[in-house]
Structure 1
Amino acid sequence: MCVDEFFTVARQSESLYECKKSKFISNVFPVENADEAEHLLEMVRKKHWNATHNVYAYTTGLNNEIQRFSDDGEPSGTAGRPVLEVIKANNLRNVLIVVTRYFGGILLGAGGLVRAYSESAARGIKNSGIIRKVNCNIYEIVINYDILGKLQWEFEQRNIKIFDTDYAENVKIKACIPKSSICDLEKLVLNITSGTAQMQLTGSCFIAVDM
């Protein structure tokens, strides 16, 4: 299934949640694939090698093709699965959450563990922030200097992003436009520049946009 957009976390974060003297430290990461998730997971395990548990869950793929989690010694279903459910409840893709627990001496019970791990994961996501990424076509456009200001204004009105500008003999810019947009970028640029622009489609990628 073709995906035109998805939600993920904006940045890595670390959060602390305390419950009945147990400390729950959530580390949240945006990831591109399962290999990256496993690498970051191992980094957290090494950092918190003396923790009671390093529970995790992650999803990767535009359709969440890969979903993995671990209770890491907690009673089955009380830790990794609740963290995964928080990820899914926020409709996130490409995210890893590791919740490290330092036992405080008071048993929480199955229900208490589910609530604690869920709360820790939710706080981590809140601290990381959520962004929307949109599948965009990327164009390379070469124009004369005297047209640049007009082109920038027209792009701004249509929420077309310019993410790189090279000032040489002519101006070379890289712009992106969502694949789902009804705007015909090539036609727009040629109209603005009276046919003098040189442009080509160079690829596509997912780019973060304002929520």
Structure 2
Amino acid sequence: MKSTFLTISQPARASYVIKKSKFIADIAPVSNAVAAKGMLAQLTAATPKANHHCYAYRLVENPPAERFSDDGEPVGTAGKPLLEILHHHQLENTLIVVTRYFGGIKLGAGGLIRAYAQAANVAVAQTTLCEKTLARQLTISLDYPQLNKLRSFLDQQQLPILKTTYTEQVTITTAVPVAQVSTFQARVTERLTGQAHYQLGAECYLTSPPQP
């Protein structure tokens, strides 16, 4: 799995009109090809009178995957420009679908490329970017008197508390960037004077604002 990548935090929609043709761009975060195809099918079904539903997506997979479609537009005038927008903004696990209602005036190949790219760029501007960092879930078991120390440390490190269980001891599940797991455990052990036990869990991604 990729250690870090840039994506979007929420779907967005934007529209662009030129020479009576209307281009509606939808951008959405997707985790895999099934999700991307499902979103495409949903948008297509919602606009049955549209002339074209062109799309592009990039996925963080092993190996990475990317797909695009002109959906009946001249080859290279729709899907590829959308894919280039994703590359330009370095977005992955992201789908762009641009729905076109033909206005009766042909735009030509260059006009189509510019129109699809413009609609996609406006949609990107309407959403919020975020960075995903590969992490491991880590469950920490400790005695109750140590709980506030651990919570304070997690807050300082801006790490989430995914789950808390109260039994004879407290167990807290967090997620730590893969590259920092060993260092994190050592620092927690030091703060809690050795009174903690750890269990590594599944890999996941942490979400944070993009780095400048």
Q: Same fold (TM over 0.5)?
A: yes
Q: Which amino acid aligns with 1:3?
A: K
Instruction: Report the count of equivalent residues.
Output: 210
Which deviations, in whole Å up to 9, do the C-alpha atoms of 1:80-113 show, x marking residues without a partner? 1100100111111111111001112222222111
Q: Which amino acid aligns with 1:71?
A: D
State the alpha-carbon separation in 1 of the partners of residues 88 and 134 from structure 2: 22
Q: State whether structure 2 residue 96 is matched by structure 1 residue 88.
A: no
Contact 2:129 2:209 in 1 (8 A): no
Farther-moved stretch of structure 1 (10-19 vs 152-161): 152-161
The equivalent residue for 1:142 is 141
Which deviations, in whole Å up to 9, do the C-alpha atoms of 1:66-92 show, x marking residues without a partner? 221111111111111100100111111
State the alpha-carbon separation in 2 of the partners of residues 32 and 210 from structure 1: 18
Q: Which amino acid aligns with 1:116?
A: A
Contact 1:62 1:93 in 2 (8 A): no
The equivalent residue for 1:194 is 193
State the alpha-carbon separation in 2 of the partners of residues 191 and 112 from structure 1: 63
State the alpha-carbon separation in 2 of the partners of residues 135 and 142 from structure 1: 23
Contact 1:83 1:117 in 2 (8 A): yes
Offset of 1:177 from its aligned partner? 1.4
The equivalent residue for 2:24 is 25
TM-score, normalized by length of structure 2? 0.90
Contact 2:22 2:101 in 1 (8 A): yes
State the alpha-carbon separation in 2 of the partners of residues 125 and 94 from structure 1: 14
Describe the shift of the 1:19–1:165 C-alpha distance in structure 2 as closer, same or farther (beyond 3 A).
Answer: farther
Q: State whether structure 2 residue 172 is matched by structure 1 residue 161.
A: no
State the alpha-carbon separation in 2 of the partners of residues 165 and 117 from structure 1: 47
The DSSP-based 3-state class of the residue aligned with 2:116 is: helix
State the alpha-carbon separation in 1 of the partners of residues 36 and 63 from structure 2: 13
Gaps (5+ residues) in structure 1? none
User: What are the equivalent positions in structure 2 for 1:73-84 lying under 5 Å apart?
Assistant: 73-84=72-83
The equivalent residue for 1:117 is 116
Farther-moved stretch of structure 1 (129-138 vs 143-152): 143-152
State the alpha-carbon separation in 1 of the partners of residues 181 and 32 from structure 2: 31
Q: Identity of aligned pairs, percent?
A: 38
Offset of 1:62 from its aligned partner? 4.2
State the alpha-carbon separation in 2 of the partners of residues 43 and 182 from structure 1: 40
User: What are the equivalent positions in structure 2 for 1:9-88 lying under 5 Å apart?
Assistant: 9-62=8-61, 65-88=64-87
TM-score, normalized by length of structure 1? 0.90
Q: State whether structure 2 residue 203 is matched by structure 1 residue 204.
A: yes
State the alpha-carbon separation in 2 of the partners of residues 147 and 201 from structure 1: 20
Describe the shift of the 1:125–1:136 C-alpha distance in structure 2 as closer, same or farther (beyond 3 A).
Answer: same
Contact 1:64 1:93 in 2 (8 A): no
Superposition CA RMSD, Å? 1.9
Offset of 1:140 from its aligned partner? 0.5
Offset of 1:199 from its aligned partner? 1.8
Q: Which amino acid aligns with 2:165?
A: D
Contact 2:2 2:60 in 1 (8 A): no
State the alpha-carbon separation in 2 of the partners of residues 78 and 69 from structure 1: 11
Q: Which amino acid aligns with 1:117?
A: Y
State the alpha-carbon separation in 2 of the partners of residues 182 and 190 from structure 1: 12
State the alpha-carbon separation in 2 of the partners of residues 174 and 30 from structure 1: 26
Gaps (5+ residues) in structure 2? none
Offset of 1:43 from its aligned partner? 1.3
Q: Which amino acid aligns with 1:205?
A: C
